[in-house]
A = this chain, B = another copy of it.
Amino acid sequence: MPVILRQLAEWVGGEVVGDADTPIDAARPLSDAQAGDITFAEDDRHIEQMHHCPAAAAVVPLKTTLTVKPLIRVGDPLMAFAQIAQRLKGPPPPPPTGVHPLACVHPTATIGHDVCIDPFAVIGPGCVIGARCRIGSGVNLGSNCHLGDDVTLHPNVVLYAGCILGRSVIVHSNTVIGADGFGYRPHDGRQVKVPQLGHVEIGDDVEIGACTTIDRGTFGPTRIGAGTKIDNLVQIAHNCQVGQHNLFVSQVGIAGSSSAGDHVVIAGQSGIADHIHIGARAIIGAMAGVHKNVPDGAAMLGIPATPIIEQKRILKTLEKLPKMRQELMQIKKALRLPDEPADDATT
């Protein structure tokens, strides 16, 4: 049965502008939309592209006036479009439940109800798996891991012994939680391993990307607070204490024993030195290198990181640096100041 624009608007509580009976086949983003599709636009730049887009209709912000095609106006077009796309696709098939005969579950593990454990997963002795957890194929849980309800571990995730995950945690494929921290003591020219006896504790609603590593504490826990979201290829070293509702973008690295308050954002490829505290609500720009404590609410950028307003001033002046040098030489000449022979006058 075909769907019309009015129905879509009802699903998301939006307002139709134009022909509410426009039939809609599918939901696709602007760059891929075809005739018969509904698409969406988040800002003015996208709305301009509407003129060249064959889509039959679009989800747009409340203030948008556009007459080239029928619209659904909503407060958050992206989220409304996501809802529409999901409903048009139909619900995903209900995940199977039960332990696959080719999974290895230790007899001392406790498995909640409606859990799905895929083939080639290994659940170690003493593990406790909450209700409705989904354990992908090739996942390995060391001994005594505890998973809250509704946890999803995608294929090939590894949890070392003793990891504790809260409810509704999602971990993407090939991420490793609880490996030994990088701790050695130099002794007679060799590096002697410091035993890594701690574990990892992850709060409710945390999501962790693919190929990320979170090391176990040396003696106590490495902690990730509830609601924090961590992207792919991130390194969180031993003993870190990360607050709630943080966002750590891809390829960020946080060295040992550092901590972050709540609502911290660290943009891509930034590095935080060891034993540093990042205050609550701080924002660390991309590719920054932080080696001092950051106060609550600060915005930092650069290597070494400084307040963003200072860093931008430095960066802007930096572009003029070769010119500044020429001016300096001009001034010295005008003043007949001696030019040291060791100095290279070419720039």
Contact = CB atoms under 8 A, between A and B. Distances in A.
- The A interface is mostly helix, strand or loop, or mixed, namely loop
A175 B221 CA distance: 23
Nearest to A249: B182
Given A120-B138, A179-B173, A193-B207, A220 B317 contact: no
Contacts of A160: 154, 173
**Copies of this chain in the oligomer:** 3
Interface stretch (A8-16, A50-58, A109-117, A226-234): A226-234
Contacts of A172: 176, 179-180
Given A219-B27, A317-B322, A210 B209 contact: no
A32 B209 contact: no
A111 to B, nearest CB: 17
B273 A271 contact: no
A1 interface: no
Among A27, A198, A212, A219, the one with the most B-chain Cβ atoms within 10 Å of its Cβ is A219
A318 interface: yes
A158 B156 CA distance: 8
A150 interface: no
Counting chain B CB atoms within 10 Å of each CB, the highest count among A81, A160, A317 belongs to: A317
21 contacts: A29-B217, A29-B219, A31-B241, A118-B122, A120-B120, A137-B140, A138-B138, A172-B179, A173-B176, A173-B179, A182-B249, A184-B229, A190-B205, A235-B251, A237-B250, A251-B251, A255-B268, A313-B322, A314-B322, A317-B325, A334-B337
Given A32-B221, A158-B173, A318-B321, 15 more contacts: A27-B219, A28-B219, A29-B217, A82-B194, A104-B120, A118-B122, A137-B140, A184-B247, A269-B271, A286-B291, A314-B318, A314-B319, A327-B332, A334-B335, A334-B337
Top 9 A-B pairs, shortest CB-CB distance: A176-B210, A140-B155, A158-B173, A213-B232, A32-B220, A182-B231, A29-B219, A179-B210, A235-B250
